[in-house]
Chains A and B, each alone.
Chain A
């Protein structure tokens, strides 16, 4: 037995105490320490002191263009949205202090569910307190013991945690690989319930799924299909319903999961469905029942925003233009990008390693631009990424400024020639 006490994989024994439960975090603590010891500004402790608009904030004392929020449609400062929130705060108070199934359903919660029903043209909508809880609740509740969940390996953490909370058999397949998905569906024992889980836009690289093909194959094999459209709602598809709408397969999707914390511009999550028995979930879905409902001001802002997004086609067109211009500009500057063509409002710039990624992140921040630094395990294939997410409120001029900032920072850090 080794005498070493600093080995990260061995629990450190404290004098007069039991095993320190925090020893398991030692490798991460050390990684952070060594990164920050170089004088690197901490990418995970940024504070926005003032928010000027959907695209500009004062961060760590600097006026900064925001290129890392999920405020795709710029609804956070929409005057109608703000007014609805203020009115609800006045009329219904600061919070509900109750569960949706007891005393936490106000008129506003029903109104936002009705707005979702109309937005998606579906029969039922159920609103959760966050998007994370929507996935957690729906997945863990509908797929039970003996059922099989077949899901893309690059699924979001909330999907994996929903799988972990439930009792179904979990079967992942290679990212966007239709054949790998089909093979696994065909191997599931006869009579078992099947749920296929896909995302419209995968948020790390900003790539989309071939949903039309995948949903067809899932249906041919007797599976129900759940699609998380968190990063596509409001933007992709003729009515902003997401990738499934854009590819013409929304009618075959059994459950759409979405969030209010991206294009809608506030916080909350939801599931919409045409399943005739859908409403029973309100009584059996624990992450829905055993938590407080959203504050009245939040559901009022969400409902107003969703109704405005129904008529957002001009904004959608401008956001696509922004995405195309930024993608082309960064590609021509010599950066390696996550997708060959822009597929969403997310453009991922691939960094050679964490050290240079963090240095590039800091150089960009000092230029006056905020992007997200993403690193394993959140990223696929152990990649370090600078993730840019565009907003419909970014002006064409801002996009050109952003490209210039990337070029200067990239040359300084030595990422591009």
Chain B
């Protein structure tokens, strides 16, 4: 799946977690802009993992702060 298709799929998955309907760009941060707490992060990561059939280990999550970084990571993890 290319970057654009991956980004579309992730955008759809974010929607239910984006309670305040913050506009999403590559620079949007999960902790700051989207106000994800650790429980939300866990649920959201599980959704992404299941949708793409990948593992995003906590080691990998530590490197992901923005939406753009998540899309890049998912593209890479799909191989």
State the A residues within 8 Å of B (CB).
Answer: 148, 153, 163, 169-174, 180, 183-184, 187-188, 377, 381-382
Q: Decide if B58 is an interface residue (CB 8 Å cutoff).
A: yes
Q: Interface 1/0s, chain B 32-49, versus A by CB < 8 A?
A: 000001110010001001
A153-B42, A381-B39, A382-B39 given; A170·B50 CB < 8 A: no
Chain A residue with the shortest CB-CB distance to B77: A187
**B55 to A171, Cβ gap below 8 A?**
yes
A254–B47 Cα distance when bound, in Å, is 31
**A184 to B39, Cβ gap below 8 A?**
no
**A180 to B57, Cβ gap below 8 A?**
no
In the assembled complex, which residues on chain B have CB atoms less than 8 Å from the CB atom of A377? 38
A180-B46, A381-B39 given; A171·B53 CB < 8 A: no
**Chain B contact patch, size range:** 10 to 19
Write 22 A-B pairs (CB below 8 A) sorted by A numbering.
A148-B55, A153-B42, A163-B58, A169-B57, A170-B59, A171-B58, A172-B42, A172-B58, A174-B42, A174-B46, A180-B46, A183-B50, A184-B49, A184-B55, A187-B49, A187-B53, A187-B54, A187-B55, A188-B55, A377-B38, A382-B37, A382-B39
**A148 to B42, Cβ gap below 8 A?**
no
In the assembled complex, which residues on chain A have CB atoms less than 8 Å from the CB atom of B50? 183
In the assembled complex, which residues on chain A have CB atoms less than 8 Å from the CB atom of B57? 148, 169-171
A377–B55 Cα distance when bound, in Å, is 25
Chain A residue with the shortest CB-CB distance to B45: A172
A406–B56 Cα distance when bound, in Å, is 45
A153–B37 Cα distance when bound, in Å, is 14
Partner of A169, one of B49, B53, B59: B59
The list of the 4 closest CB pairs from A to B, nearest first, reads A169-B57, A170-B58, A187-B55, A171-B57
A122–B54 Cα distance when bound, in Å, is 37
In the assembled complex, which residues on chain B have CB atoms less than 8 Å from the CB atom of A172? 42, 58
A377–B38 Cα distance when bound, in Å, is 10
Name the prevailing secondary structure of the B interface residues.
helix
Q: Interface 1/0s, chain B 11-51, versus A by CB < 8 A?
A: 00000000000000000000000000111001000100110
In the assembled complex, which residues on chain A have CB atoms less than 8 Å from the CB atom of B59? 169-170
A382–B42 Cα distance when bound, in Å, is 13
Question: Which residues of chain B from 52 to 78 have a CB within 8 Å of any chain A CB?
Answer: 53-55, 57-60
Shortest C-beta distance, B13 to chain A (Å), equals 16
Shortest C-beta distance, A8 to chain B (Å), equals 15
A377–B37 Cα distance when bound, in Å, is 11
* A180-B46, A184-B55 known, 15 other contacts, Cβ within 8 Å: A169-B55, A169-B60, A170-B58, A170-B59, A171-B55, A171-B57, A172-B42, A173-B46, A183-B49, A183-B50, A187-B49, A187-B54, A377-B38, A381-B39, A382-B39
Chain B residue with the shortest CB-CB distance to A169: B57
In the assembled complex, which residues on chain A have CB atoms less than 8 Å from the CB atom of B38? 377
In the assembled complex, which residues on chain B have CB atoms less than 8 Å from the CB atom of A180? 46
Task: Count chain B CB atoms within 10 A of each CB in A169, A188, A381 and give the residue with the most.
Answer: A169
Chain B residue with the shortest CB-CB distance to A167: B59
In the assembled complex, which residues on chain A have CB atoms less than 8 Å from the CB atom of B58? 163, 169-172
In the assembled complex, which residues on chain A have CB atoms less than 8 Å from the CB atom of B60? 169
A230–B37 Cα distance when bound, in Å, is 29
A339–B46 Cα distance when bound, in Å, is 25
A148–B57 Cα distance when bound, in Å, is 9
A303–B39 Cα distance when bound, in Å, is 41
In the assembled complex, which residues on chain B have CB atoms less than 8 Å from the CB atom of A148? 55, 57
Shortest C-beta distance, A232 to chain B (Å), equals 26
A148–B59 Cα distance when bound, in Å, is 11
In the assembled complex, which residues on chain B have CB atoms less than 8 Å from the CB atom of A173? 46
Task: Count chain B CB atoms within 10 A of each CB in A172, A174, A381 and give the residue with the most.
Answer: A172
